[in-house]
Amino acid sequence: PLTAKVNSQDHLEIGGCDVTELVKKFGSPLYIMDEHSIRVACRQYREGFANHYSGDSLVIYASKALNCLGICALVGSEGLGIDVASGGELYTALQAGISPEKIYFHGNNKSPQELREGIDCGCTIVADNWLELKTLAAIAQGTSTKVMLRVTPGIECHTHEYIRTGHLDSKFGFDPNQVEEVFNFLQQTPNLDFVGLHAHIGSQIFERQPHQDLASVLVDWLKQAMNLGLPVRELNVGGGLGIRYTEADDPPSIEEWTQAVAKAVEEACENANIDLPKLICEPGRSLVGTTGITAYTVGSEKTVPETRTYIAVDGGMSDNARPITYESVYRSLLANQMSASANKTVTVAGKHCESGDVLIKEALLPPTTAGDILVVMSTGAYGYSMASNYNRLLRPAMILVHEGNADVIIDRETYQDLIAQDRLPTRLKANK
């Protein structure tokens, strides 16, 4: 999916830009996103639904994977909507020019302020629980606010425990035994326009079956709501399609996944004898994950005799929290000597004051020297979006590359940015 090649200087090139040159120009570490491959993934989702589903459909980008103006605008230009999970993500999507008609507001504990922001812009709010639904009904007096219900479908899938969400003891969504009562409540609450049902079962999923099962569970509830005369017309199956981080990962293609989901929904609707709802899915990782890389500069090296060699880079857990959080595995390469033979297994460590700050435990690389450009592949999703300033490291810049052009879409932070929100109490200022 990445528009990558090796150029005549034996350097990695992405989107027509030499990665080594990008680092020279924009600094290190550097997030690099490939516009073309994001567009391709957006189109594969849209066309997958268009080709295999006879009803209306909409693909919305789960922007938690990577939310910033440039990426929101880019996926918006491909006709996608946006899933936001906080007031901050909503604000960014709106500022990027995304129509509220195509924005869906998620979250299991939206504040009254956030609910108000959602109501004011006119996006669809995905109600997660009773407190939220009742607060929403009260704040939305005199409006016609579009609401979806998030339900916990009770579907298990094989992925990391932290990113599983469909099982019954998940913190997200209404429990199946609350659904009927919620339907009754919505029937009596005319200022809430109940548009449909949503569920999300987890992330980095390689099987198709869980989403097919989900389709039939959701259609059953949809029918139940229709029988009560509720105006439901949308069905959102969430996101979750996995990507290939290493050779061992073997996810279905976007085409295969969309086809499986579309067919399952059609079949379930046929069995339930109901009209096809507008089918929505909300992928995050599979739109931006493999389309982004992080380039680092190699620094110090330490060999622990008979144990391992550490290669330290100029970033780490602050720009990619996934290895330390989920023990996620990544692939790396040397962008400035692509044909050198990878014959050494080393540990790629970050520069944070923490032993666990390791990006790759076992990386197969050519021999490295300080100054080499080490690229960690497939960092586009949940890299920048989970980044921190731990140890007051500056968050890297992000570059969008396309046909030889490189645009900064996120500036590198500065020391001034780090203290911009800091305030010195007056009595301490005196001591300065």
Q: Is 395 annotated as a binding residue?
A: no
Residue 196 contacts ligand LLP per CB under 6 A: no
Q: Is 43 annotated as a binding residue?
A: no
Residue 240 contacts ligand LLP per CB under 6 A: yes
Stretch that binds ligand LLP, among 43-51, 133-141, 200-208, 251-259 (CB under 6 A): 200-208
Question: How many positions of this chain bind ligand LLP (CB under 6 A)?
Answer: 22
Which one among 166, 173, 196, 284 touches ligand LLP, defined by CB under 6 A?
284
Binding string, 163-182, against ligand LLP, x = CB under 6 A? x-------------------
Which one among 106, 211, 395, 402 touches ligand LLP, defined by CB under 6 A?
106
Distance in Å, CB of 40 to ligand LLP, minimum: 16
Q: Which residues contact 308 (CB under 8 A, 6 or more apart)?
A: 346, 347
Distance in Å, CB of 396 to ligand LLP, minimum: 17
Phi and psi based region of residue 196 (left: phi greater than 0; alpha: psi -120 to 50; beta: remaining)? left
By C-beta, is 261 or 311 nearer to ligand LLP? 261
Stretch that binds ligand LLP, among 1-9, 134-142, 209-217, 232-240 (CB under 6 A): 232-240
Q: Is 229 annotated as a binding residue?
A: no
Q: Is 283 annotated as a binding residue?
A: yes
Q: Is 282 annotated as a binding residue?
A: yes
Stretch that binds ligand LLP, among 41-49, 196-204, 300-308, 334-342 (CB under 6 A): 196-204
By C-beta, is 65 or 82 nearer to ligand LLP? 65
Write out the binding residues for ligand LLP, residues 52-91 only, by CB under 6 A.
Answer: 62, 64-65, 83
Write out the binding residues for ligand LLP, residues 314-333 only, by CB under 6 A.
Answer: 322, 326
Task: Give catalytic status of residue 353 as yes or no.
Answer: yes
Write out the binding residues for ligand LLP, residues 362-401 only, by CB under 6 A.
Answer: 382, 386
| Of 86, 225, 210, 228, residue with least CA distance to 149 | 225
Q: Which residues contact 383 (CB under 8 A, 6 or more apart)?
A: 31, 66, 292, 294, 319, 320, 322
Which one among 52, 146, 164, 200 touches ligand LLP, defined by CB under 6 A?
200
Which one among 28, 57, 145, 203 touches ligand LLP, defined by CB under 6 A?
203
Question: What residue numbers does the annotated binding site for substrate cover?
Answer: 285, 322, 326, 354, 382
List residues forming the annotated binding site.
240, 282-285, 322, 326, 354, 382
Catalytic residues: 353
Give the residues lining the site for ligand LLP (CB under 6 A).
Answer: 62, 64-65, 83, 106, 163, 200, 203-204, 238-241, 282-286, 322, 326, 382, 386
